[in-house]
């Protein structure tokens, strides 16, 4: 029998995927894995072990309202009656549904990743999902005591350091004190992506709960997950900046270039440059491509004695302590104080202008090339005792953290002096 739709309304599409297992698996989709054709959440992993599956896929961001789930139950009851063992799996919005409707569908085990307790602002404050609350659909949507059974096995995976998810978990734990908890620290709300593994999902659904066993399997999956390293790096940077170097030193992985956006890359580079000498291997692990310059010598100093440089990785003007620049001279090109004129840098025997647009997006452009629409050169002006960097009517300013900004009102932070020994 081919998989086919067994129920559908404005909110959900329900698909039956027949297999050979004695278990019937309910796989609930989330905000990302919504209804599309006959696709099912975690379909490939479930097919690999030939599970019988009912895929409950949301068509809207509506958290599986009871007005849809009750008619669904009536429609699929003939299939339910064929299976004594029923197990639910889902994450986030799907994790909520797996817990909320466990009594309705008679689940023996519920595996729920980073679930919600409710999205009703009267029940819990969560700015991520409160906007999706609809009073006409979600009256009394929170998980209630009558939705829970002491004879049912509940497994919840979440990051205890994620404040929003922890608030939902604490509400659920008060209702389900016998819940089995597996912590996935520093991954935020992305447990499903981090733990994507057919073998691990099969264990979650079938293996008797054994915390050490599950943690061992989770560690194995994490070690091979690029997404895990990305999430850990993102979350650790604000707490334990020294940990980034240890992650790079102790693990072998290769992130894709698109894993971090420009702002995240700039933050990563600043942490690396300020804590250690950066190696090309470190950058490759982080998915950051290198654009190596020739070495340069002189420095323009700001009021904090930090040198102005062009960072060829982040493609931005920044400021760093002289020692940091010396250690990372391949990537941090000092801006040369050569009198009034355009700002140039020398990269691999080529001379580039530093140009910018009104959104303060910088680029390097070969001196002989035409400028793209909206891009304008940055001008260096020499005055008695100091230099300024100008973009139209704006002046470059720097702060003690090495960040630079173009501002309208010039003050002492906009004045840069030549390093004394190199005058």
- In-domain check, residue 291: no
For residue 107, list its beta bridge partners. none
- In-domain check, residue 19: yes
Q: Which residue would you say has higher pLDDT here, 27 or 331?
A: 27
- Asked if 291 and 282 count as a contact pair (C-beta separation under 8 A), the reply is no
Is 80 exceeded by the pLDDT of residue 157?
yes
- On whether both 45 and 10 belong to a single domain, the answer is yes
- In-domain check, residue 290: no
- On whether both 77 and 104 belong to a single domain, the answer is yes
Angle at 157 between CA 93 and CA 232, to 5 degrees: 100
Is 60 exceeded by the pLDDT of residue 421?
no
- Asked which of 50-64, 141-155, 260-274 is least confident by mean pLDDT, the reply is 260-274
Characterize 294-326 residue by residue with b for buried, 16 or more Cβ atoms within 10 angstroms of its Cβ, and e for exposed: eebeebbbbbeebbbbbbbbbbbbbbbeeebbe
Q: Of 199, 224, 249, at which residue does a domain stop?
A: 224
- In-domain check, residue 293: no
Residue 270: predicted pLDDT = 75
pLDDT tens-digit series, residues 216-272: 999 999 888 877 877 777 776 666 666 666 666 666 667 777 667 777 777 777 777
- On whether both 281 and 326 belong to a single domain, the answer is no
Residue 420: predicted pLDDT = 57
Nearest to 8 by CA among 60, 53, 52, 44: 60
Average pLDDT over residues 136-150: 96
Handedness of CA 410, 413, 414, 417 (dihedral sign): positive
Is 70 exceeded by the pLDDT of residue 283?
yes
Q: Of 177, 195, 224, at which residue does a domain stop?
A: 224
Q: Which residue would you say has higher pLDDT here, 183 or 326?
A: 183
Residue 294: predicted pLDDT = 42
- On whether both 69 and 144 belong to a single domain, the answer is yes
Give percent helix, percent strand, percent coil of the chain, each to the nearest 5: 30, 25, 45
- On whether both 55 and 86 belong to a single domain, the answer is yes
Domain that holds residue 330: 300-422
Contacts of 88 (CB under 8 A, 6+ apart): 25, 26, 28, 97, 98, 101, 102, 105, 107, 109, 110, 111, 112
- In-domain check, residue 294: no
- In-domain check, residue 193: yes
- In-domain check, residue 192: yes
pLDDT tens-digit series, residues 358-411: 988 999 999 888 899 999 999 999 999 899 999 999 999 998 888 898 999 888
Which residue pairs, CB below 8 angstroms and at least 24 apart, start in 384-387? 385/417, 386/415, 386/416, 386/417, 387/300, 387/337, 387/415, 387/416, 387/417, 387/418
- On whether both 188 and 116 belong to a single domain, the answer is yes
- On whether both 190 and 237 belong to a single domain, the answer is no
- On whether both 67 and 83 belong to a single domain, the answer is yes
The number of beta carbons lying within 10 Å of the beta carbon of residue 74 is 9
DSSP-derived secondary structure for 61-92: SS---HHHHHHHHHHHHHHHTT-SEEEEEEET
Q: What is the CATH number of the domain that holds 21?
A: 3.40.50.1820
Structural domain total, the chain: 3
pTM: 0.65
Q: What is the CATH number of the domain that holds 352?
A: 2.80.10
pLDDT tens-digit series, residues 4-28: 999 999 999 999 999 999 999 999 9
Q: Of 204, 224, 244, at which residue does a domain stop?
A: 224
The number of beta carbons lying within 10 Å of the beta carbon of residue 167 is 15
Q: Which residue would you say has higher pLDDT here, 322 or 296?
A: 322
- On whether both 267 and 394 belong to a single domain, the answer is no
- On whether both 406 and 277 belong to a single domain, the answer is no
% of the chain at pLDDT higher than 90: 65
- In-domain check, residue 36: yes
- On whether both 78 and 171 belong to a single domain, the answer is yes
- On whether both 56 and 164 belong to a single domain, the answer is yes
Classify strands 300-301 and 180-183 as parallel, antiparallel or unpaired. unpaired
DSSP-derived secondary structure for 240-293: -TTHHHHHHHH------GGGS-HHHHHHHHHHHHHHS---HHHHHHTT----PP
Pull the structure tokens for residue 140.
């009394």
Could you give the residue ranges of the DSSP H alpha helices within 182-242? 191-194, 198-206, 211-223, 226-236
Nearest to 124 by CA among 91, 166, 94: 166
């Amino acid at each position: 029998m081919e998989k086919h739709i067994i129920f559908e309304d404005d909110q959900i599409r329900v698909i039956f995927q027949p297999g050979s297992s004695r278990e019937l698996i309910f796989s609930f989709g989330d905000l990302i894995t919504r209804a599309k054709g006959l696709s099912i959440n975690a379909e490939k992993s479930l097919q690999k072990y030939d599970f019988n599956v009912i895929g409950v896929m949301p068509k809207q961001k509506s958290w599986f309202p009871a007005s849809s789930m009750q008619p669904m139950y009536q429609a699929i009851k003939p299939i339910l009656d064929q299976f004594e063992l029923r197990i639910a799996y889902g994450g986030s919005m799907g994790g909520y549904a797996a817990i909320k409707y466990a009594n309705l569908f008679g689940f023996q085990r519920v595996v729920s990743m980073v679930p919600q307790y409710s999205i009703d602002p009267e029940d819990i404050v969560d700015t991520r999902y409160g906007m999706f609350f609809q009073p006409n659909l979600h009256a009394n949507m929170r998980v209630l005591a009558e939705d829970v059974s002491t004879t049912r096995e509940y497994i919840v995976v979440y990051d205890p350091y994620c404040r929003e998810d922890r608030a939902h978990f604490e509400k659920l734990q008060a209702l389900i004190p016998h819940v089995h908890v597996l912590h996935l620290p520093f991954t935020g709300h992305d447990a499903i992506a981090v733990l994507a593994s057919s073998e691990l999902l099969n264990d979650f659904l079938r293996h008797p709960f054994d915390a050490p066993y599950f943690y061992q399997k989770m560690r194995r999956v994490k070690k091979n997950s690029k997404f895990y390293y990305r999430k850990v790096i993102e979350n650790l940077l604000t707490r334990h900046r020294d940990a980034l170097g240890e992650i790079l030193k102790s693990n072998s992985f290769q992130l894709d270039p698109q894993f971090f956006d420009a702002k995240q890359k700039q933050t990563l580079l600043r942490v690396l440059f300020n804590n250690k000498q950066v190696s090309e291997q470190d950058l490759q692990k982080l998915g950051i491509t290198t654009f190596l310059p020739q070495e340069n010598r002189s420095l323009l100093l700001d009021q904090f004695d930090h040198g102005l440089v062009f960072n060829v990785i982040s493609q931005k003007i920044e400021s760093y302590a002289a020692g940091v620049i010396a250690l990372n001279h391949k990537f941090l090109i000092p801006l040369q104080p050569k009198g009034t004129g355009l700002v140039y840098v020398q990269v691999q025997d080529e001379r580039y202008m530093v140009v910018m647009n009104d959104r303060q997006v910088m680029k390097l452009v070969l001196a002989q090339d035409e400028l793209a629409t909206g891009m304008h050169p940055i001008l260096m002006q020499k005055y008695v005792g100091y230099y300024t960097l100008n973009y139209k009517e704006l002046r470059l300013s720097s702060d003690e953290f090495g960040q630079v900004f173009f501002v309208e009102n010039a003050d002492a932070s906009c004045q840069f002096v030549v390093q004394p020994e190199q005058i």
